[in-house]
Structure 1
């Protein structure tokens, strides 16, 4: 029996009803750090910092749970905004975003030299001097308008996803207002002072502390916080934070040098509701919500993960897998591309040939997916399946060049579903391929790269869908993101890469 179908089965059998919301969210928060370009563990450290400030502020107990999850999920709307930033500025999204986040735009006429240098180096990096200069000036002129649009997009989406996860309105409002500033210069609603929800004010302070301390040190984070007291930050929260810092109780387990497991354990210990176990439908909602985060990163990925999940679930059912195994396949398919949150939009949306370094980044995303998911013990089998969605039976896939004996039936199902979705949908460099041609291309990979029985099950599923709807020529599954396989007869080098 193969490794995926046997070695981790005991974990999967205990998945439903044996895991808490904090265990899942604290692990998946690492994926949000990828989107932000933050130092590894940013969400966890922000959570510790924010909860300590809340304790100092004597936050009512009925609000602490809302704050806890707002701190872990405050960046959940970021994937769409970084994609828009890349399009607006022609920049590598995460470094540029980091520069904008750290700059005090209450003094927009006096941006720091370091921020100007960072933005210049990332604006249209492959373009000549005149082209970069023109985009740089244009970005500066439209900066306020751009930031306002990005903030609204990010914060509204973040709040909507929290609602989908079943969080209360207090948590959703905190995420939506995390970019508001005490003096009214923030976004998306230019709220001022105590108009800003208290939980959002705490999140804002905690986020600043971790971002700044990770790059410039803890004392610099406190100094900058004090400098922006009354402009960015609530002066009373700044006073409380300074007091915690002086007493030596603010930074425990909040250094990037601290062991990852210690930081996460400290976060889990804060959750008074940790013993509340999730129902299967709640786990599904979490997987669906994070699939939405992944797909929002690029307009070429709209509904891709959901499309792969639908196809994979249909294949699993057609092949006679049990309900639990089919559901496992569906969840793995929903989260298979979560590692792509660490891939820049300048790569994902590129129409021309990728460089060798860009390909290295693409090839790593399944490994990152696996590393994120295996942080959750009951997700370990799911992590393997999701991390193998680009492997091929003949060893030509990536990242580990596994061969048929190493690949479970569940991994083979997700691989077939991903290729099917990828061919069916638009890419930066070509339109989606019609159904007949998609099936023809895939059939040429049987049985060398793709599993024959999985492909036959896909054909039966698609045939059934085609019979149920009159006569469309293209079956829209989702908006895929991966890269097609070699030897398919296409000219674009990016299009010829193995899925």
Structure 2
């Protein structure tokens, strides 16, 4: 059985919690790999490759840190376009995005054979030939191009880097990572040296890792050189080729290399690792990645923030110490980060999920834990976040833990998650009015959900509703940020599981 958060709390006593920005970002970059459908560790390997090229370029020292974090966070805006990709393809958005990275979409009227194969494999993969052909024709290759061009992922990625305090140079590198040397890229069709140097380095590093992971290092270099002057800066291509021939490019950059070695190599490159984060900075990072998760589907808009607000209120009402309440809030913010590994075709599905689709859903709390526990001071948080679907009677998932295995912090997040999920619109039903939400939850007490946590939730909700009724009677049912509407509800058992 996995070690419970109660055990972790005992084991973590005395831990001073010192942590650097690179330690958190390098760990959470694994979540971004899930969004992109990339091979595990893609962001870390891209970082090593890009920093080695930058060293050869003799990148000014004041830009080195910007490049470092741009390489780790270059995909942070991608979840924003996942739902749109799923709608176009009606297939696995992550698999499609991973494949799209290998194709040249700058010539939509002259598609290559591999491009046509990609369209055929990703558009309605479970449908018959006639239906798939019709959808492919309807979408057209130009839909892929317009999808990327119209997607807000670029601006969103840059915005998040600014929110994290990474600075305008790093933000602009992330925004321009898909620009092409010949002007055929996105989002602004910049050409040549109009493209920021850091973005050009990021583009080459990204390409090298994606292709080498699929077809080997030599293939990555070959395709890089083939696209020199079209996709990529010729001078940077020559530098990458020179590093390759000298055997100075690929160390710790193979998916077969030990994960801890690759990550340690990345951490060793961080010139700012001596700067320890303040508590407010850690909160800001958690909030930023919560936004990344929630952006994946319009049905989960602000879900993580809503769970965090509810969980923090419950923790305070139950008298938890300030540091424990803060821990609960952070765990709640990041509880669904594992959902970045679940296809939008599943998350946005309006009909009943298949057995295979349920398997993917059941796995997301475990993925959440694996991502968060990569950061030593986050290990207790990882357990709490990974237990948000566990129930007191053992009917939850993924480990079917029971009451004695679950700490009060885990119980709080579980109650907050059910409360938020019932209140929100979902693909298969509308959000539920507040009073009905609490009524449904009361039937789960004390068999599945903790009675004390639920009682604290009711007190918080009641208090906030009273405040709302005084200041704005018309929104008295809008508690904890949710628009409680008087709509029907179809399946309480299904919703309580989610």
Q: Same fold (TM over 0.5)?
A: yes
Q: In the alignment, is residue 61 of structure 1 matched against residue 61 of structure 2? A: yes
1:420–1:15: structure 2 CA closer, same or farther, 3 Å change rule?
Answer: farther
SS in 2 for 1:457: helix
Counterpart Cα distance in 1 of 2:386 and 2:417: 12
Counterpart Cα distance in 1 of 2:306 and 2:171: 27
Q: Following TM superposition, by how much is the alpha carbon of 1:122 offset from its aligned partner in structure 2, in angstroms?
A: 2.0
Counterpart Cα distance in 1 of 2:189 and 2:493: 43
Q: In the alignment, is residue 447 of structure 1 matched against residue 446 of structure 2? A: yes
Counterpart Cα distance in 1 of 2:289 and 2:167: 18
Matching residue of 2:250: 251
Q: Following TM superposition, by how much is the alpha carbon of 1:6 offset from its aligned partner in structure 2, in angstroms?
A: 4.7
Gaps of 5+ in 1: 481-488
1:282-325 Cα distance to aligned partner (Å, 9 max, x none): 00000000000000000001100000000000000000000000
Q: Is the Cα–Cα contact under 8 Å of residues 49 and 254 in structure 1 kept in the other structure?
A: yes
The number of residue pairs the alignment matches comes to 487
Counterpart Cα distance in 2 of 1:179 and 1:23: 26
Q: In the alignment, is residue 148 of structure 1 matched against residue 181 of structure 2? A: no
TM-score when normalising by structure 2: 0.94
Counterpart Cα distance in 2 of 1:490 and 1:360: 24
Q: Following TM superposition, by how much is the alpha carbon of 1:477 offset from its aligned partner in structure 2, in angstroms?
A: 4.2
Counterpart Cα distance in 1 of 2:448 and 2:496: 13
Counterpart Cα distance in 1 of 2:232 and 2:270: 26
- Where in structure 2 are the equivalents of 1:239-388 lying within 5 Å? 239-388=238-387
Matching residue of 1:463: 462
1:355–1:207: structure 2 CA closer, same or farther, 3 Å change rule?
Answer: same
1:439-468 Cα distance to aligned partner (Å, 9 max, x none): 000000000000000000000000000100
1:96–1:479: structure 2 CA closer, same or farther, 3 Å change rule?
Answer: farther
Q: Is the Cα–Cα contact under 8 Å of residues 468 and 476 in structure 2 kept in the other structure?
A: no
SS in 1 for 2:448: coil
Matching residue of 2:478: 475
Q: Following TM superposition, by how much is the alpha carbon of 1:12 offset from its aligned partner in structure 2, in angstroms?
A: 6.8
Matching residue of 1:484: none
Matching residue of 1:115: 115
Matching residue of 2:97: 97
Counterpart Cα distance in 2 of 1:353 and 1:75: 31
Q: Following TM superposition, by how much is the alpha carbon of 1:139 offset from its aligned partner in structure 2, in angstroms?
A: 1.9
Q: Following TM superposition, by how much is the alpha carbon of 1:254 offset from its aligned partner in structure 2, in angstroms?
A: 0.1
Counterpart Cα distance in 2 of 1:208 and 1:15: 39
SS in 1 for 2:245: helix
Q: Is the Cα–Cα contact under 8 Å of residues 425 and 477 in structure 1 kept in the other structure?
A: no
Gaps of 5+ in 2: none
Q: Is the Cα–Cα contact under 8 Å of residues 332 and 383 in structure 1 kept in the other structure?
A: yes
Q: In the alignment, is residue 430 of structure 1 matched against residue 429 of structure 2? A: yes
Q: Following TM superposition, by how much is the alpha carbon of 1:111 offset from its aligned partner in structure 2, in angstroms?
A: 2.8
TM-score when normalising by structure 1: 0.94
1:259–1:478: structure 2 CA closer, same or farther, 3 Å change rule?
Answer: farther
Q: Following TM superposition, by how much is the alpha carbon of 1:94 offset from its aligned partner in structure 2, in angstroms?
A: 1.3
Counterpart Cα distance in 1 of 2:477 and 2:86: 30
How large is the Cα RMSD of the aligned pairs? 1.8
Q: Is the Cα–Cα contact under 8 Å of residues 300 and 428 in structure 1 kept in the other structure?
A: yes
Q: In the alignment, is residue 8 of structure 1 matched against residue 14 of structure 2? A: no
Counterpart Cα distance in 1 of 2:14 and 2:327: 10
1:337–1:15: structure 2 CA closer, same or farther, 3 Å change rule?
Answer: farther
Q: Is the Cα–Cα contact under 8 Å of residues 103 and 114 in structure 2 kept in the other structure?
A: no
SS in 2 for 1:432: coil
Q: Is the Cα–Cα contact under 8 Å of residues 180 and 191 in structure 2 kept in the other structure?
A: yes
Counterpart Cα distance in 1 of 2:365 and 2:168: 34
Q: Following TM superposition, by how much is the alpha carbon of 1:146 offset from its aligned partner in structure 2, in angstroms?
A: 2.0
1:60–1:412: structure 2 CA closer, same or farther, 3 Å change rule?
Answer: same
- Where in structure 2 are the equivalents of 1:203-242 lying within 5 Å? 203-242=202-241
SS in 2 for 1:466: helix
Q: Following TM superposition, by how much is the alpha carbon of 1:117 offset from its aligned partner in structure 2, in angstroms?
A: 2.0
Q: Is the Cα–Cα contact under 8 Å of residues 338 and 364 in structure 2 kept in the other structure?
A: yes
1:150-186 Cα distance to aligned partner (Å, 9 max, x none): 2xx1110000000111111000000000000000000
Q: Is the Cα–Cα contact under 8 Å of residues 31 and 339 in structure 1 kept in the other structure?
A: yes
Counterpart Cα distance in 1 of 2:409 and 2:495: 25
Q: Following TM superposition, by how much is the alpha carbon of 1:100 offset from its aligned partner in structure 2, in angstroms?
A: 1.9
